Amino acid sequence: MTLEKRYADAPDLLAFYKEKLLEPEWAGELESVELAYIKSELRRSASLRRRWGFRPSAKRLSELRIRAIARDGLSANKRLVLASVVGKQESVR
């Protein structure tokens, strides 16, 4: 099932939900269809990856990390974000 199928009867609710799901810390515990939607949108947009604490060039988008940021936001996951940045800097040196 997709979000479109789930909210086929309520297009306004679908539009609202699609927008809000992309805000870190808004969604809480994700269902599989919500995770799939967020992950597909993250793959499409480098700026959205940055807002979610991923490097804009990131190819691997961890489900665990997406779920944690959707539930707790970026500030609670600061170590995950910093680890990805530090790992990138160390590989450049």
* Confidence (pLDDT) at 93: 45
**Other CB atoms within 10 Å distance of the CB of residue 49:** 18
| Residue 1: per-residue pLDDT | 85
pLDDT at 82 (0 to 100): 52
Residue-by-residue DSSP string for 2-31: -HHHHTTT-HHHHHHHHHHHTSTTTS-SPP
**For residue 87, what pLDDT is reported?**
52
pLDDT reported for residue 74: 87
| Angstrom distances, CA of residue 48 to CA of 38, 54, 92 | 10, 9, 24
Confidence (pLDDT) at 81: 53
- Provide CB contacts within 8 A for 25, sequence distance 6+: 69, 70, 71, 72, 73, 74, 76
Within the chain, which residues score under 50 in pLDDT? 85-86, 89-93
Q: What are the domain boundaries of the chain?
A: 3-92
